[in-house]
Structure 1
């Protein structure tokens, strides 16, 4: 009796010879079955299953149709044994509720799929050391070739992580560039553009609604805001801190509306900016005639439709996601871990109707 090893991607499980009649497990479709129906070799089916580009389009369509007809499902474990990879990237993150996280995750999933990779989402239930450590520990139990981490790197400073030795890592929105490969939006330059725009319009100073203190993105935007004002010799107003929500922007806006010297505000994200717009409107402060407002994010289909349309800093989330996936694939394909460092994705100011020169006679 001859024996053979299934091709990578084959999904055959033979029935146990002693299985009772009527209780035998259903035999799964094999790569050879697909090859027979498609009229091609098993090697061609393997190439199609593994996403190789060397198969002509008409043959690929023929094989894919046979797979659909037979209900063939590639065996990722067998493929991993043959090719040394699972073609899966893990993504660790805290929350999908924030604009940045959800848009970045969407971009990562899109670019990973285009490269023939799936993503495995590993959420962190709470911002505690135990939960963060638990997420990293799970990596050793999951079939992933690389991991992209989207979280507040403050926690990385206080937790001793043990990463699986063969898993490649890319960080997002982090100051951990001294230890890992990091991809981030150029937060500081975006904030600089926003504040400088308001000063160039003639405002004496710029108030700031900051994000949460534990956020590195918020921290960098606040530091850049302060630096621009200090470099220009302008008064630095007290920071008003929100939590990224429109509600927090609204609450702070009600307070700022009673500050006669407040003619310009830089909000650390668009959601807090829209809260400001509502608060100023309710208090009779016209935007931009009485007070100018600049946000940060430029979420597609959102910022341009506020009343008035919001001047804001555009973040290229799609490019951040693309560079994360590319960085992970470079590590996987090169079989190496890159030197630590940070790659910054440029930002740009999008000027709309929420900013204008200060009112005549303003202090």
Structure 2
């Protein structure tokens, strides 16, 4: 007699139901469900077919308790409105998937320690093995982020406290390369459209731009501040001086550089004949700007891989020392930079 299929009104299909349908032991079903080797291929296929017929779904929570982990990483982020954060989340999710982990995303609307603590608690309820925090701005109510004890965690894009695992792209080297490139072309100085004052990345890029000019003995103009958007880059571009007082601009991101393009054209200036422009991020459309934008490339894929490597290392060895790897940045040369056309010594 054929095994009975549990009716739609019965309780959830159990492992014993699958075992009866496949004609094997519950232990064999358990081994197949948990991905263990050593099950004969024909037997494995019988079990899988029974699972499909009965629409059996292994209890992931029970398997996690048995194994001691859930194969899931949590991501806490303060905003998903910036290009860098979106690319970082995508890179972490891709790297986690490659390592056999799912990801759970939890945005924190208000960057306070209390909000982050609540986010950690929520992720623990959702059963994650580790947490990656993308911390673009400082906490409003605390000098440093304090991570809950016993939770494998990595912090991205932050001023890291002692004992924390922190990862960031090399913002300093990137901004230095951008500024040095413009100086090497013969420009007397480099103006800067900075990102938001509260942004860790914006502060690092601005500080490196300033230090590079000072090291070269050049005048340091007052930076003009934007909010990462193209519109703010446009507004900032209208505030820049005209003529030979401003022949080179380093923008803290590519979107603001796009806004600067519009502002320069509105004032009758050409790129790069009158003003050379360098951005930061190397967004996918940067080579479609007119002219294509010289920019600093961040290796977001490697940033994601480093985040996942770090939390996996903590899971393997909870006592491992904290590391702070820095992901490289590189200058991508395109057509938006050239030497000054006249009158520059």
TM-score, scaled to structure 1: 0.84
1 CA distance for matches of 2:167 and 2:40?
36
1:73 and 2:73 aligned: no
Aligned residue number for residue 79 of structure 2? 95
Aligned residue number for residue 225 of structure 1? 209
1:282 and 2:266 aligned: yes
1:329 and 2:312 aligned: yes
For residue 322 of structure 1, report the CA deviation from its aligned partner: 1.0
Aligned residue number for residue 158 of structure 1? 142
Gaps of 5+ in 1: 1-14, 16-21
User: Given the superposition, is the C-alpha separation of residues 212 and 55 from structure 1 closer, same or farther in structure 2, using an over 3 Å criterion?
Assistant: farther
For residue 168 of structure 1, report the CA deviation from its aligned partner: 0.6
For residue 242 of structure 1, report the CA deviation from its aligned partner: 0.8
Q: Which moved more, 1:343-352 or 1:259-268?
A: 259-268
User: Given the superposition, is the C-alpha separation of residues 221 and 69 from structure 1 closer, same or farther in structure 2, using an over 3 Å criterion?
Assistant: farther
Aligned residue number for residue 271 of structure 1? 255
Partner of 2:324, secondary structure, is strand
User: Given the superposition, is the C-alpha separation of residues 40 and 197 from structure 1 closer, same or farther in structure 2, using an over 3 Å criterion?
Assistant: farther
User: Given the superposition, is the C-alpha separation of residues 107 and 26 from structure 1 closer, same or farther in structure 2, using an over 3 Å criterion?
Assistant: farther
Q: Which moved more, 1:117-126 or 1:99-108?
A: 117-126
Gaps of 5+ in 2: 1-5
User: Given the superposition, is the C-alpha separation of residues 112 and 70 from structure 1 closer, same or farther in structure 2, using an over 3 Å criterion?
Assistant: farther
CA contact 1:210–1:218 (8 Å) conserved in 2: yes
2 CA distance for matches of 1:58 and 1:353?
61
For residue 52 of structure 1, report the CA deviation from its aligned partner: 5.6
Aligned equivalent of 1:182, options 156, 166, 171: 166
CA contact 2:247–2:340 (8 Å) conserved in 1: yes
Q: Which moved more, 1:314-323 or 1:63-72?
A: 63-72
Q: Which moved more, 1:42-51 or 1:217-226?
A: 42-51
Q: Which moved more, 1:45-54 or 1:163-172?
A: 45-54
Aligned residue number for residue 214 of structure 1? 198
User: Given the superposition, is the C-alpha separation of residues 40 and 208 from structure 1 closer, same or farther in structure 2, using an over 3 Å criterion?
Assistant: farther
For residue 256 of structure 1, report the CA deviation from its aligned partner: 1.4
Q: Structure 2 matches for 1:1-363, cutoff 5 A? A: 26-34=10-18, 45-47=29-31, 49-50=33-34, 67-152=51-136, 154-155=138-139, 158=142, 163-176=147-160, 178-256=162-240, 258=242, 260-300=244-284, 302-334=285-317, 336-362=318-344
User: Given the superposition, is the C-alpha separation of residues 357 and 243 from structure 1 closer, same or farther in structure 2, using an over 3 Å criterion?
Assistant: same
TM-score, scaled to structure 2: 0.88
Partner of 1:155, secondary structure, is coil
Aligned residue number for residue 8 of structure 1? none
For residue 281 of structure 1, report the CA deviation from its aligned partner: 1.2
For residue 127 of structure 1, report the CA deviation from its aligned partner: 2.8
2 CA distance for matches of 1:93 and 1:100?
11
User: Given the superposition, is the C-alpha separation of residues 255 and 161 from structure 1 closer, same or farther in structure 2, using an over 3 Å criterion?
Assistant: closer
Q: Which moved more, 1:109-118 or 1:319-328?
A: 109-118
Task: Give the RMSD, CA atoms, in angstroms.
Answer: 2.9
User: Given the superposition, is the C-alpha separation of residues 160 and 359 from structure 1 closer, same or farther in structure 2, using an over 3 Å criterion?
Assistant: closer
For residue 32 of structure 1, report the CA deviation from its aligned partner: 4.6
User: Given the superposition, is the C-alpha separation of residues 161 and 319 from structure 1 closer, same or farther in structure 2, using an over 3 Å criterion?
Assistant: closer
For residue 306 of structure 1, report the CA deviation from its aligned partner: 0.9
2 CA distance for matches of 1:262 and 1:213?
23
